[in-house]
Chains A and B, each alone.
Chain A
Amino acid sequence: MVAMENPHAHAPQGFIRKYIFSLDHKVIGIQYFFLALTAVFVGMFLSLLMRIHLLWPSANLPIFGVIQPETYLTLLTMHGTIMVFFVLTTAPQGGFGNYFLPIQIGAPDMAFPVLNMLSFWTTFIAFVVIIAAFFVQGGAPLHGWTGYPPLSAVQSAGPGEGLGADLWITSIAIFCVASLMGALNFITTTLDLRAKGMTLMRMPLTVWSWFITAILGLLAFGVLLSAGILLLMDRNLGTSFYVPLVVVSGQVMGHKGGSPLLWQHLFWFFGHPEVYIAILPGMGVASQVLSTFSRKPIFGYRAMVYAMLSIGFFGFMVWGHHMFMSGMSPYSAFAFSLLTMCIGVPSAIKTFNWLGTMWKGRIRFQTPMLYAIGFVSLFVSGGLSGPFLAQPVLDIQLHDTYFVVGHFHLIMGVAAIFGMFAATYYWVPKMFGRMMNETWGRVHFFITLAGTYAIFMPMHYLGMAGGTRRYSDYREVKYLATLIPLHQFMTYAAIITIAAQFIFVINLFWSMFKGPKASDNPWEATTLEWTTTTPPPHDNFGGVTPVVHNGPYEYGVPGAAKDYVMQTDPATVSTH
């Protein structure tokens, strides 16, 4: 078969087919990437408003005026929702996964390109709908990103719980559909479109992480979708799935007999796998980058794969640990606690393997590597407080305090974001054909790492001191007022860290247009994306399909001509 017969050999012409409604997984990946970049700035801005409000609750801000307590709740709701769905789920999987999964397995595109385009545009619509919630009467909802009923299920429960909350649920339902389409595509592509010789155990760990994430998404988002439909029915059709008999402002609502716990079970059955949907791609990228920049094979490739699989598996069995405070049989709590601690085992395997990969490596401390090391650091710092919170007895003390906020921001928020930064600095040369500035990359890294710890470590102390979360003003409560200096420190750290992100954005856009041209394989890496031109052609490999002979991380191979062996180099190594 000659290249001309390949339907992917012809790039579409015209701006709209090429850049807007493109079927090319690379363009769609970039679209997801920029959507997430927009969302992260919206989410970050909301967090900045929250931090400023905590220090100066009665400050009259330009445009926003004085932030009311209910507005503070709106800010935290929308910050959490936008960050979890449109950043942590969108960028690592939709962005980098879309762009690099087909290339890394030697495929010319995703299995179903039209579905791929649809899943991006559906995500986009979901984003527009959630942003619209800010501008409707009553504003955005205030029920938190977890949307617990009855607050989220009764229209008159508060400002923003009218149309704003309907838009919030609708947006998430649309997002679920988009994610399901994406997950279907990722799984089919990975199973069916691998190039000759790309056995499962020769797939880069990034591909494994996207594949496992897609399986989690496929099983989890359907549950959230059902839960959302029930919530919409409770709100608009007068059903009582979640809402018991409630009285709002002296008025008895028409509901009766529902259980708010039902929502919590359904939500967290999605919610906990969602944590791994956010973090697994980061693990994949960290493995890829650590191995490349340590010039050593990944330590324990198979163990890494099995660890990710077992993290995904256990992820579906631990949702109850979010509900220790909601009323739960001690026996159930014990089971959930034990299963939660089990996740520590594969997590520890991964951590030690990352350290083992770096051990005695000839480490190149370039920006992607710094971010990968930062990822491991944050994963450990954020992860270690997990087994604390897995204890029902301790959780009763720490639940709804800043301890939990610090924990999940370190592990699910910032660690995942460090994974994205590592991926950005690592793959931007391939995506846009130009290198990012190394010096500014390092400056960005060190400020962000220090800033992150400065924001989120004190939260653990706040929590242990009983500092409750979701309060908008601490001045009137005596024991909380004494903790305000810590809040001051965190707010200043947040302002500096947020300011530093503009270094990243300027570096990104400047490099995209003005950076030094990147060679085809600037990092001397081994996986398939580095065998093709920079940036890759429309069909990824210029009319030919690569044949894979080696594992993904053949660095420092004894007897090899160079210190790395590409996956496509003829078989001289047989470690897998």
Chain B
Amino acid sequence: MATYAPIDAIREGQTGRGGSTSTPKPPGGGEDGRGGDSGPNYGARLRRARLGLICGVATVTMVFVSLTSAYIVRQGLPTYDEPTGSYVHDWGGTDLPWRLLGINTILLLASSVTIEFARRGLARQVALAPVKSIPGVSLGAENKFPWLGVTAILGFGFLIGQGMAWRELHLRGFFVNTNPSSSFVFLLTATHAVHLAGGIVALLWAAATALLHRSVESRRIVVDITAWYWHFMAVLWIYVFALLGFAR
């Protein structure tokens, strides 16, 4: 039997990410942004959260890629029509409320801009935090505009607008089972809305971190990944909108 081989007793601050011996390694290695609010590991936590976000974005992308392939396949599918004895396309088409959807798109794009202001504002706060703590140093009046709140309101506005679009579709006689085209309209908008609702939950969490007096670094991480996710949602909506518009 082997004897225990003692490991090199290196303290955590001296270690680095695999291979790169110069980068300081975060102590703790995790905690979902909980605890360990102190400065030194902030960059590593931000990087880790962004990496997680990239994986999440890849997943959501795969969901929409598969829905798109289903969309294209179903659209091109010939169906046997018994009365005429021939193959026909039963795609149908949907009379979309373009103006309403256009307004929703503008709302969502605007919210993407406001959350970017929030993200940059917090990044600036984090960068200036060390300077601010020097006695006698003043950086002028801080920008206290509630960009996150505005984003959440715009996000809710978008969801309500989508709900109104659904109502409009119902009024025009299009339901989820009316024809394949309307099925996909409801499916794609609902799937996007569910993911956007997740983004709103993240926004509320970001607001909660402010109320809970978490450190500015922790708030910045939450806001940063929420903002990137939100931008992704905006791009995704443009994509869905284009798909519904151009591949009718």
Cβ of A238 under 8 Å from chain B: yes
Is A522 within 8 A of B2, CB to CB? yes
Give 1 or 0 for each of A535-572: 1 = CB within 8 Å of chain B CB: 00000010011111000000000000010101011100
Choose, from A47-55, A112-120, A472-480, the stretch at the interface: A112-120
With most chain B CB atoms within 10 A of its CB, the pick from A112, A187, A219, A222 is A222
> How large, as a class, is the contact surface on chain B?
35 or more
Q: Per-position contact with A for B27-65: 1 when CB-CB < 8 Å, else 0?
A: 111111011100010001001100110011011111101
Given A8-B28, A222-B63, A568-B8: A257 in contact with B77 (beta carbons within 8 A): yes
CB distance from A135 to the nearest CB of B (A): 30
**B4 contacts the other chain (CB 8 A):** yes
Query: Chain A residues near B21 (CB, 8 Å)?
Result: 196-197
Q: Which of A76-84, A101-109, A341-349, A445-453 contacts B (4 or more CB under 8 A)?
A: A101-109
The digit string for A303-346, where 1 denotes a CB below 8 A from any CB of B, is 00000000000000000000000000000000000000000000
A109 to B48 alpha-carbon distance, docked (Å): 13
Residue of B nearest to A524 (CB): B2
A202 to B176, CA, bound (A): 53
CA distance A265 to B62 in the complex (A): 14
Contacts of B5 in A (CB 8 A): 521, 531, 566, 568-569
B168 contacts the other chain (Cβ, under 8 Å)? no
Chain A residues with Cβ under 8 A from B11's Cβ? 1-3, 544-545
Q: Is B141 an interface residue (CB 8 A)?
A: no
Which A residues are in CB contact (< 8 Å) with B135? none
Which of the residues B9, B18, B36, B62 comes within 8 Å of A196, measured between beta carbons? B18
- Tell which of B4, B27, B79, B176 has the most Cβ of chain A within 10 Å: B27
A562 to B15: give the CA distance in the assembly, Å: 27
- CA distance in complex: A183, B21 (Å): 27
Within 8 A of A (CB), among B112-162: none
A107 touching B2 by the CB < 8 A rule?
no
Nearest Cβ on chain A to B128's Cβ, whole angstroms: 25
Q: Which of A6, A187, A569 contacts B28 (CB 8 A)?
A: A6
Task: Say yes or no: is B183 at the interface (Cβ < 8 Å to chain A).
Answer: yes
Q: A7-B36, A109-B30, A111-B52 are in contact. Are A200 and B12 (CB under 8 A)?
A: no
User: Chain B nearest CB: distance from A36 CB in Å?
Assistant: 23
Q: What's the Cα separation between A541 and B6 when bound, in Å?
A: 11
Contact of A197 among B19, B34, B60, B62 (CB under 8 A): B19
Q: For the complex, is A229 an interface residue (Cβ under 8 Å from B)?
A: yes
- Nearest CB on B from A316, distance (A): 11
CB-defined contacts of A568 to chain B, threshold 8 Å: 5, 7-8
* Most chain A CB within a 10 A radius of its CB, from B25, B55, B58, B90: B55
- Residues of chain A with a CB closer than 8 A to B86's CB: none
Cβ–Cβ contact A7 & B28, under 8 A: yes
Complex formed: what's the CA distance from A442 to B17 in Å?
A: 41
- B146-195, CB < 8 A from A: 176-177, 180, 183, 187, 191
Interface residues on A, range: 35 or more
* In the complex, chain A residues 251-266 whose Cβ is within 8 Å of any chain B Cβ: 254, 256-259, 262, 265-266
**A121 CB to nearest B CB, Å:** 15
Complex Cα distance, B32 from A114, in Å, reads 6
Residue of A nearest to B21 (CB): A196
Q: A109-B30, A240-B183 are in contact. Are A188 and B8 (CB under 8 A)?
A: no
Min CB–CB distance B65 → chain A (angstroms): 8
Complex: A194 Cα to B26 Cα, angstroms: 11
Residue in A199, A203, A259 whose CB lies within 8 Å of B77:
A259
Q: Which of A256, A520, A545, A546 contacts B4 (CB 8 A)?
A: A520
Find chain A residues with CB under 8 A from B13 CB.
Answer: 1
| A569 vs B40: C-alpha distance when bound (angstroms) | 28
Q: Which residues of B contact A223 (CB under 8 A)?
A: 62-63, 65-66
A-B contact sample (5 more), CB < 8 A, given A521-B1, A546-B7: A107-B29, A187-B55, A226-B70, A519-B1, A521-B3
26 examples of A-B residue contacts, CB within 8 angstroms = A1-B13, A7-B28, A109-B31, A112-B32, A187-B51, A188-B52, A196-B14, A196-B18, A197-B21, A223-B62, A225-B63, A229-B191, A230-B187, A237-B177, A240-B180, A256-B79, A256-B90, A259-B77, A519-B1, A521-B3, A522-B1, A532-B7, A545-B10, A545-B11, A546-B7, A570-B8
